[in-house]
């Protein structure tokens, strides 16, 4: 085989591989990820967050556990300025035990806060960074940050930071 034929074949193979590798979005002149629909992902995350809130406030531990990644590296942090308290749990076993103990010590359901309809989401493939505010009838204003991971096609919570500000007081 001549070198020119070999070179032509190599160029053709490279061209085929290059054109098959990525989907292009002509409107954005850029590469599009594997068919990610940001609106659908945001809706799925919103549903997961609302389910986790309902399960926790209704004291449904078994349902609550299905909203979380069960991994030793996840975290849950509460900073409560109104009560001057702080708690941090690292790893599924500690987070699970913390919530289970809380539910056992406070078995009466609490009023579920108004469910979320507005969240800020930044998608990173199978991960998402989510922030939002929520008004809790017992604790007041809360700002939440959630780290989400997509596990087996479902969004789950992998990290949580809740900052509780309480109720505004007039002076």
Report the CATH number at residue 81. 3.10.450.50
Do 16 and 50 lie in one domain? The reply is no
The conformation of residue 152, written as its DSSP 8-state character, comes to: T
Count of domains observed in the chain: 2
Q: Are residues 61 and 27 in the same domain?
A: no
Per-residue model confidence (pLDDT) at position 3 = 53
- 16 and 40 assigned to the same domain: no
Considering the domain architecture, whether residues 74 and 3 belong to the same structural domain is answered as no
Are 16 and 42 in the same domain? no
* Boundaries of domain holding 151: 34-166
157 located within any domain: yes
Residue 62 belongs to a domain: yes
- Gyration radius of the chain over CA positions: 23
Please indicate, yes or no, whether residues 2 and 38 belong to a single structural domain of this protein.
Answer: no
Q: What's the CA gap between 147 and 47, in Å, rounded?
A: 15
Claim to verify: residue 23 and residue 62 sit in the same structural domain: no
Judged on CB neighbours under 10 Å (0-12, 13-18, 19+), 61 is middle
Residue 147 lies in a domain: yes
Tokens encoding 69? 């990644």
pLDDT at 170: 61
- Specify the pLDDT at position 2: 59
* Residue 171, domain member (yes or no): no
3-state secondary structure of 5: helix
pLDDT at 155: 98
Instruction: Indicate whether 68 and 22 sit together in one domain.
Output: no
Q: Is the pTM of this model over 0.85?
A: no
Residues of the chain with pLDDT under 70: 1-34, 170-171
Whether the CB-CB separation of 38 and 45 falls below 8 Å is answered with: no
Query: Is residue 99, in this structure, part of any structural domain at all?
Result: yes
Q: Specify which residues 146 forms β-bridges with.
A: 130, 160
- Which pLDDT value is given to residue 138? 87
125 and 41 fall within a common domain: yes
Q: Would you tell me how many other CB atoms lie within 10 Å of the CB of residue 86? A: 10
Cα separation, 64 vs 82, whole angstroms? 26
Q: Do residues 88 and 4 share a domain?
A: no
pLDDT at 15: 41
- Same-domain status, 20 and 93: no
């Amino acid at each position: 085989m001549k070198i020119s034929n070999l070179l032509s074949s190599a160029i053709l193979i490279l061209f085929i591989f290059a054109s098959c590798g990525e989907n292009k979005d002509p409107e954005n002149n850029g590469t599009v990820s594997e068919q990610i629909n940001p609106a659908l992902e945001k809706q799925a995350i919103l549903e997961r967050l609302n389910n986790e809130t309902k399960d926790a406030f209704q004291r449904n531990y078994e349902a609550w556990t299905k909203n979380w990644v069960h991994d030793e590296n996840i975290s849950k942090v509460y900073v409560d300025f109104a009560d001057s308290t702080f708690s941090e749990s690292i790893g599924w076993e500690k987070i699970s035990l913390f919530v289970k103990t809380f539910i056992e010590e406070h078995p009466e359901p609490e009023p579920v806060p108004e469910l979320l309809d507005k969240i800020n989401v930044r998608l990173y493939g199978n991960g998402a960074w989510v922030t939002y505010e929520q008004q809790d009838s017992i604790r007041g204003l809360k700002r939440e940050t959630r780290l989400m991971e997509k596990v087996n096609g479902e969004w789950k919570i992998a990290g949580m930071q809740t900052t509780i500000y309480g109720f505004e007081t007039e002076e």
